Amino acid sequence: MANWNIYREMENLRHEIDEAFRGFGGRGLFGPAFHAGRGFRRQPPINLYGDAENLYVEVLVPGMEADQLELMVQENVLTVSGQRKKVDDKDHTWHRRERENGKFVRTLELPVDVEADQVKARCRNGMLTVTLPKAAAARPKKISIDVA
């Protein structure tokens, strides 16, 4: 008895429809909501976490170098932008293409104010890591308790 997988069937149908419209100059009829495992995901994916002193943002940017990225901090908003170079499609046929190319902009509202002039960023092995020092007013303060 053969196993039937609805997601595989939907992916096959999407692929067939995309191929049918490819000859008419279309890039594909269905958007990313119909691509297996993608949904309407914002790109690139971001993690945000913090400790008492800093916020840390990790941005997944595989295949990109630091000179292809731009960071901007204004008030409590971080913007990451860049452009992935398009791969030449002439020499091969795509069977699956999940990494997007072209320009992207990702804006993230930070949960606290940060010291914009002290922000540091590092890009290594496809991961952009941004360290954002919290503003003095946003840092936790230890309060001593008087014993009467």
Determine how β-strand 54-60 pairs with β-strand 120-124: unpaired
**CATH number for domain 42-87+100-140, candidates 3.40.50.300, 2.60.40.790, 3.30.70.20, 2.60.40.650:** 2.60.40.790
The pTM assigned to this predicted structure is 0.65
Identity of the amino acid at 56: Y
Name the H helices within the chain.
6-22
Q: Where in the chain is the domain with CATH 2.60.40.790?
A: 42-87+100-140
E-strand stretches of 51-135: 54-60, 69-74, 77-84, 102-109, 120-124, 127-133
Query: Given this model, what pLDDT does residue 139 score?
Result: 82
Alpha carbon distance 61, 11 (integer Å): 26
pLDDT, tens digit, for every residue of 125-144?
999 999 999 998 888 888 88
Task: Give the model confidence (pLDDT) of 23-77 as tens digits.
Answer: 555 554 555 444 444 444 557 899 999 999 999 999 999 888 899 999 999 988 9
